Amino acid sequence: MSSDDAHQSPIFVGVNGAQGSGKTTLVSTLAEMLRQPPHSLSTIVLSIDDLYLTHDLQSELAASHPSNPLIQHRGQPSTHDLPLALSLLSDLQQGNVTKIPRYDKSAYRGKGDRVPREEWAEVNRDRGHKTEVVIFEGWCVGFRALPREDLVRQWEGAVREREKGVYVGRLGWNKLENVDFVNEALRRYDQLTDQLDSLIHLDAEDPMFVYEWRSQSERKLREIKGSGMTDNQVVDFVNGYYPAYELFTSNLRRGTFDEGKGRQLRLVIGRDRRVREVVKM
Ligand SMILES: Nc1ncnc2c1ncn2[C@@H]1O[C@H](COP(=O)(O)OP(=O)(O)OP(=O)(O)O)[C@@H](O)[C@H]1O
Local confidence band at 6 (pLDDT 50, 70, 90 cut-offs): low
The Cα–Cα gap between 119 and 107 comes to 15
Q: Mean per-residue pLDDT for 12-24?
A: 96
The Cα–Cα gap between 233 and 239 comes to 10
Q: Give residue 98's region: left, alpha or beta (phi > 0; psi -120 to 50).
A: beta
pLDDT digits (tens, 9 = 90+) for 183-208: 999 999 999 999 999 999 999 999 99
pLDDT for position 1: 42
User: For residue 232, how far is its CA from the centre of ligand 1 (angstroms)?
Assistant: 21
Please provide the average confidence, as pLDDT, over all residues in the chain.
93
**Residue among 15, 19, 24 whose CB has most ligand 1 atoms within 8 A, to mutate:** 24
pLDDT for position 109: 86
Q: Give the percent of the chain with pLDDT over 70.
A: 98
User: For residue 24, how far is its CA from the centre of ligand 1 (angstroms)?
Assistant: 6
pLDDT digits (tens, 9 = 90+) for 122-158: 999 988 889 999 999 999 999 999 999 999 999 999 9
Higher pLDDT, 253 or 167: 253
Q: 243 phi and psi, to 5 degrees?
A: -55, -35
Per the CB < 8 A criterion, the answer to whether 73 and 58 are in contact is yes
User: For residue 267, how far is its CA from the centre of ligand 1 (angstroms)?
Assistant: 14
- CA dihedral sign, ordered 260, 265, 268, 273: negative
| Confidence check: pLDDT of 168 > 90 | no
User: For residue 56, how far is its CA from the centre of ligand 1 (angstroms)?
Assistant: 31
Q: Mean per-residue pLDDT for 5-18?
A: 88
| Confidence check: pLDDT of 233 > 80 | yes
DSSP state of 52: B
The Cα–Cα gap between 145 and 72 comes to 20
3-state secondary structure of 47: strand
Element (H, E) at 218: helix 209-225
Q: 80 phi and psi, to 5 degrees?
A: -105, 155
| Domain 11-280, classified CATH 3.30.70.270, yes or no | no
pLDDT digits (tens, 9 = 90+) for 31-86: 999 999 999 999 999 999 999 999 999 999 999 999 999 999 999 999 999 999 99
What are the residue boundaries of the structural domains of the chain, listed by start? 11-280
Which atom of ligand 1 is closest in space to residue 27's alpha carbon? 18
The Cα–Cα gap between 66 and 116 comes to 28
Would you say how long the chain is, in residues? 281
Local confidence band at 167 (pLDDT 50, 70, 90 cut-offs): confident
Where is average pLDDT lowest: 6-10, 11-15, 154-158?
6-10
Q: Give residue 149's region: left, alpha or beta (phi > 0; psi -120 to 50).
A: alpha
User: What is this structure's pTM?
Assistant: 0.93
User: For residue 107, how far is its CA from the centre of ligand 1 (angstroms)?
Assistant: 23
Q: 55 phi and psi, to 5 degrees?
A: -55, -45
- This model of the complex carries an ipTM of 0.90
pLDDT for position 29: 97
pLDDT digits (tens, 9 = 90+) for 212-228: 999 999 999 889 988 88
**Residue among 15, 16, 21, 25 whose CB has most ligand 1 atoms within 8 A, to mutate:** 25
Which atom of ligand 1 is closest in space to residue 275's alpha carbon? 1
Q: Mean per-residue pLDDT for 96-105?
A: 96
Q: Does ligand 1 have an atom closer than 6 angstroms to the CB of 138?
A: no
DSSP 3-state percent helix, strand, coil across the chain (nearest 5) = 45, 15, 35
Please provide the DSSP assignment of 54-102 as one string. Answer: PHHHHHHHHHHSTT-GGGSSS-STTSB-HHHHHHHHHHHHHT--EEE--
Per the CB < 8 A criterion, the answer to whether 280 and 198 are in contact is no
